[in-house]
Copies of this chain bind each other. A is one copy, B any other.
Amino acid sequence: MSDLEDYRKELDAIDQELVSLFEKRLAVSKKIGNYKKNQSLPIYDKERERQVLLQNIRQITDKDSEVQVRHFLETVMDLSKEVQKDVRASTVDYDQLFASHPPKNDPKIGYFGETGSFCEEAMLAYFDEAPANPSNYHTFESLFLAIRNKEIDYGVLPIENSSTGAISQVYDLLAKYGFSIVGEQYIKIEQHLIGLEGTNLDEVEEVYSHPQGFQQSTEYFKNHEKWRQIPFHSTSDSAKLVKDSQDVRKSAIASRRAAEIHGLSILADNIQNESENTTRFIILGKDLESNPRCNKVSVVFSLDNEAGTLFKLLRHFAEYHINLIKIESRPVQGEKWEYLLYLDFEGNIAEENVNGALRLLQKNSVYFRLLGCYIAATKNK
């Protein structure tokens, strides 16, 4: 028998004792929880926890292990508080929440940008049937307003690009309007410089685009510093503007599809910095919607300034073996240097582990909102 097997037998015996003791501790903690509830006492007693740490740390024999022992005891106390809190008594019933809002039949759809926009592409890729008479909107906020005014049931807009990152304005509007993400779609983005047919590059003086178009193509424009970059509503709106102007000095950054739709020529193709340039679009609805096939969840919550708060909140995800996909931080409007955190993670709201993590997250954060539970799209579209 090797040394390793001997050691492991020792560990197995220790672990069995550890778990049995820990179970005993949880049982006592539950009694304390009931006692505190009856006496209306708070669950958390900072001074008591400090004492417990002190008296145990004082007695450890190998001072090199102090950090590990401290962390061990803190975890033991945190987990004991969890059973005191009786998480299952939480007041929000997520299943109920979803059941009350089934997906809409024959919905009215809106998208960001002009005909030929990447959002229109995302819309056509997302919905099984091409929506009849979709509306389009030239600012992100006008699309949110259209949902609020019930002009449309769903709106399609970009939230994140693989090379330029979050579209922060959309994150902020999600917090402001309180709507829900009901789906997502990835679209590969190829940006082209487009203009009137027969335009020579030497004739170009102005380039129109959504700011994202410029950000995604900074390398190309380093060789064309004289061109004036003029930010406009969207890349597709920029294409339309160039067409309407009939001016060879004006050009736009837009998709091949936008060029075709607006009868324009490609003056330089694939001008984006990264060949693998992809944007993630969200399908936005007024209410939460979900079904058993949904496998991705988005939430937003706020952080207070207490040491370790972020860690304590994220612990719930690790505890329930939930895979975090993305974390995004945005300032709280009107509050100086406070942050909202947006998390995307894998799972379905009806799964016990996700449900459990969300209840704990909600219980322990100052502000919390479930943004949606939807089907994760494949990234290689």
Chain A residues proximal to chain B, CB less than 8 Å: 3-4, 7-8, 10-12, 14-19, 21-29, 31-32, 35-36, 41, 48, 52, 55-56, 59-62, 64-65, 67-73, 75-76, 79, 82-83, 161-166, 168, 211, 229-231, 274, 276, 278, 305-312, 314-315, 317-324, 326-331, 333-334, 336-337, 339, 341, 356, 379
Contact = CB atoms under 8 A, between A and B. Distances in A.
A328 B329 contact: yes
A231 B229 CA distance: 8
A219 to B, nearest CB: 11
Contact of A165 (B231, B331, B379): B331
Contacts of A318: 307-308, 311-312, 315
A4 B36 CA distance: 8
Given A211-B211, A308-B321, A329-B329, A12 B52 contact: yes
Given A22-B72, A72-B22, A163 B331 contact: yes
A326 B339 contact: yes
A254 B356 CA distance: 50
Nearest 9 pairs of A and B residues by beta carbon: A311-B318, A307-B323, A308-B318, A68-B79, A75-B75, A71-B319, A311-B314, A162-B336, A14-B25
A232 to B, nearest CB: 10
B3 A35 contact: yes
B15 A165 contact: no
B79 A72 contact: yes
19 contacts: A12-B55, A14-B25, A15-B52, A15-B76, A18-B18, A18-B21, A18-B22, A18-B25, A19-B73, A23-B60, A23-B61, A23-B65, A26-B68, A162-B337, A311-B315, A314-B314, A315-B315, A327-B339, A327-B341
Nearest to A141: B218
Given A82-B68, A379-B337, A48 B8 contact: yes
B28 A7 contact: yes
Give this chain's copy count: 2
Contacts of A3: 31, 35
Contacts of A229: 231
Nearest to A52: B15
Contacts of A341: 327
Contacts of A28: 7, 10-11, 14
Contact of A230 (B56, B230, B328): B230
Given A16-B56, A327-B339, 7 more contacts: A4-B35, A7-B35, A23-B61, A67-B319, A161-B331, A326-B329, A336-B379
Contacts of A276: 336
A47 B308 CA distance: 31
A280 to B, nearest CB: 8
A57 to B, nearest CB: 9
A308 B317 contact: yes
Contact of A330 (B4, B165, B274): B165
Contact of A65 (B72, B83, B307): B83
A333 B274 contact: yes
A324 B311 contact: yes
A1 to B, nearest CB: 13
A271 B331 CA distance: 19
Nearest to A29: B11
A71 B22 CA distance: 11
B26 A65 contact: yes
A76 B18 contact: yes
A310 B337 contact: no
Given A67-B356, A329-B328, A331-B165, A317 B311 contact: yes
A370 to B, nearest CB: 20
